[in-house]
Structure 1
Amino acid sequence: MRVQHLDQMIDQKSILKDLTFSLNKNEIVGLIGRNGSGKTTIFQTIAGQYLLNDGELFIDDVNIAQHPEKRQEIFYINEKENFLLNYSLDKINQFYRAAYPKFNQDLFLDLLKTHQLSKRLIYKRLSKGMQGLFLMILAIASNATYLLLDEPFDGLDVIVRKQVIGLLVENLSQSNRSALIASHNLNELEGIIDRVLVLKDQTIVQDYRLETLREQARKIQFVFKAKKVPEIVKQHSKVIQIQGRVVTALFEQFPEELATEILNYEPILFEELPLTLEDLFEANLSRVKLMEDE
């Protein structure tokens, strides 16, 4: 899937601008951004709940505007506008079997049985956790190539969350499919994603491949003798946190030459710390700035 130069306005207000990214098969991608940054709007637009104001969407190099049937390759449920609430799981099953030609009914029934969910149950009477589990079963059984999952772990207890994550990872690893997940639960997200897209100022500002980032990037904590942080640190890093004179910064590239040059300033403290997805969030989306001379 390719999203190219997508613009979206809602109620005369610009929400997304020049948004460009791709989803490859056989990968799980995280989408992170501040509250209200437009993550749900991205899902709604890709899924066809909003018309494109500008830009193009391709699946297998086919423009969806010209071939709307390709949307059968996309699975998305908008929980805020969920028409499923008053229906039984059996009735919901019928809707989605009609909507998705490749729906795997045997897998659907098997997963319901495994997780002790009766088809007679009414969706709105399920607990939050069981609703989340059922939606993941529905997404997997749809056999759609691209799963758009908006806060799929929200409100789930530890046990159900592990079940939901296990279902997703197990089934996607066995198929030629992809998932785009928006979640505030960065710890859970970090353990399952291959890439992370950072949404800021109405567009995608970073596209990190986590394996590459872990090889190349470093999170370093410094304390320098002088109050001023060396210019080389400012030029090559993004600040994660400042506590007094202690500066914690993310270096997306940290070659030996750079480390040597920083050590020439004889920092009182120079310590490498484990890099997390939360660090990427703070480095790209917080407003922390390095201090200048007093």
Structure 2
Amino acid sequence: MKVNNLQKTIDGQAILEEINFSLNPQEIVGLVGRNGSGKTTLFRTLAGHYLLDGGEVTIAGMDLAKAVEQKTQLFYIDELDNFLKYYSLKKINEFYRLAYPKFDQDRYLALLKENEFHQRMSYRRLSKGMQGLYQMILAISSEANYLLLDEPFDGLDVIVRKKVIALLLDHLATHENCSIMIASHNLVELEGIIDRVLLLKGKSIVKDYSLEQMREHARKLQLVFRRKGVPAFVKEQAKLLSIQGRVVTVIFEEYTPELADQLKALEPVVMEELPLSLEDLFEANLRQEKMGSQGGKV
């Protein structure tokens, strides 16, 4: 799937502008952004719940706006506005078998039995966690190649969350054409399973990180300098996480031996490398404040 220059306006207000990214087979991509940044709007637009106001979404080179049959390659449940709550699991199953030609009924029934669901159950009477688990069973049974999952871990206890993640990873391992995109505020959980992360800020995708490359090239450092203030070189090259007195914690996204030598030339009293997490990248990139408020870019 490729998204080219996607734009979406709602009630005269631009929500998404110049959105560009691709989803590759056998990949889990995290979509990260602050509340109200447009993550759900992006999913709704990709799934066709909203019409595009610009750009295009293509699958196998075919524009989804024209090749509507390709929409069966996408799976998305709008958590805030879905029809599932009005029906039994049996009726929901009937809907999805009609909507997805390759729906794997045998696997669906096996997973229901394994997780003690019954077709006569009412969706609305399931707990929040069991609703989340059932949605995951629908997603992987649909046999869609692109699974768009909006906050799939929200409200799940640790046992159900592990089941959901295990289902996802097992499905991806056995479906070579499958791609999964997850929007989640649970960055710790997300970091353990994704291959890439897209940072949504200011209506656009501002960063597209490969976590493997990020771990190889980026560094989180704690620095202490003899003089007050942050040296100009650090301001230009790093992103700030915190300042406490003379202790400065920063992220260098492209940390090279040459950059390390330049830092050492500043003769910091302390120069210590710390573990770098997805949460650190989120905080460094998505803060709105400037350095004077101890946020934003140094």
Which bin holds the TM-score, normalised by the shorter protein? over 0.9
**Amino acid of the structure 2 residue aligned with 1:122:** S
- Which runs of no fewer than 5 residues in structure 2 stay unpaired? 294-298
What are the equivalent positions in structure 2 for 1:208-223 lying under 5 Å apart? Answer: 208-223=209-224
What is the Cα deviation at residue 61 of structure 1?
1.0
CA distance in 2, matches of 1:187, 1:21: 23
What is the Cα deviation at residue 288 of structure 1?
4.9
CA contact (8 A) 2:32 2:200 kept: yes
What is the Cα deviation at residue 122 of structure 1?
0.3
Name 2:260's counterpart in structure 1.
259
Name 1:128's counterpart in structure 2.
128
Q: What RMSD over aligned residues (CA atoms) do the two structures have, in Å?
A: 1.1
**Amino acid of the structure 2 residue aligned with 1:178:** S
CA distance in 1, matches of 2:183, 2:199: 10
What are the equivalent positions in structure 2 for 1:10-21 lying under 5 Å apart? Answer: 10-21=10-21
What are the equivalent positions in structure 2 for 1:114-153 lying under 5 Å apart? Answer: 114-153=114-153
CA contact (8 A) 2:225 2:267 kept: yes
DSSP 3-state at the match of 1:17: strand
Name 1:188's counterpart in structure 2.
189
What is the Cα deviation at residue 86 of structure 1?
1.8
**Amino acid of the structure 1 residue aligned with 2:139:** A
CA distance in 1, matches of 2:36, 2:292: 29
Is residue 268 from structure 1 mapped to residue 283 from structure 2 by the alignment? no
CA contact (8 A) 1:228 1:291 kept: no
CA contact (8 A) 2:199 2:208 kept: yes
Give deviations 1:201-233, integer Å, cap 9, x for gaps: 000000000001101110111111111211111
Instruction: Mark the CA change 1:287 to 1:243 in structure 2 (over 3 Å): closer, same or farther.
Output: farther
- Which runs of no fewer than 5 residues in structure 1 stay unpaired? none
Name 1:97's counterpart in structure 2.
97
**Amino acid of the structure 2 residue aligned with 1:281:** F
How many residue pairs end up in the alignment? Answer: 292
CA contact (8 A) 1:234 1:290 kept: no
**Amino acid of the structure 2 residue aligned with 1:98:** L
Name 1:87's counterpart in structure 2.
87
CA contact (8 A) 1:242 1:288 kept: no
TM-score (norm 2): 0.96
Is residue 51 from structure 1 mapped to residue 40 from structure 2 by the alignment? no
DSSP 3-state at the match of 2:130: helix
What is the Cα deviation at residue 24 of structure 1?
0.6
DSSP 3-state at the match of 2:65: coil
Instruction: Mark the CA change 1:239 to 1:208 in structure 2 (over 3 Å): closer, same or farther.
Output: same
What is the Cα deviation at residue 291 of structure 1?
5.1
CA distance in 2, matches of 1:240, 1:159: 33
CA distance in 2, matches of 1:145, 1:243: 47
CA distance in 2, matches of 1:147, 1:39: 15
What is the Cα deviation at residue 244 of structure 1?
2.2
CA distance in 1, matches of 2:245, 2:78: 44
Name 2:230's counterpart in structure 1.
229
CA distance in 2, matches of 1:226, 1:68: 63
Name 2:33's counterpart in structure 1.
33
DSSP 3-state at the match of 1:81: coil
CA distance in 1, matches of 2:288, 2:220: 18
CA distance in 2, matches of 1:3, 1:52: 11
CA distance in 1, matches of 2:188, 2:284: 16
**Amino acid of the structure 2 residue aligned with 1:219:** K
Give deviations 1:226-245, integer Å, cap 9, x for gaps: 11211111111111222222
What is the Cα deviation at residue 174 of structure 1?
1.2
CA contact (8 A) 1:219 1:272 kept: yes
| Bigger Cα displacement from structure 2, 260-269 vs 47-56 | 260-269
**Amino acid of the structure 1 residue aligned with 2:138:** L
CA distance in 2, matches of 1:255, 1:158: 39
CA contact (8 A) 2:229 2:246 kept: no
CA contact (8 A) 2:39 2:200 kept: yes
DSSP 3-state at the match of 1:207: strand
**Amino acid of the structure 1 residue aligned with 2:19:** L
CA contact (8 A) 1:229 1:291 kept: no
Give deviations 1:227-284, integer Å, cap 9, x for gaps: 1211111111111222222111111111111111111111111110111000110110
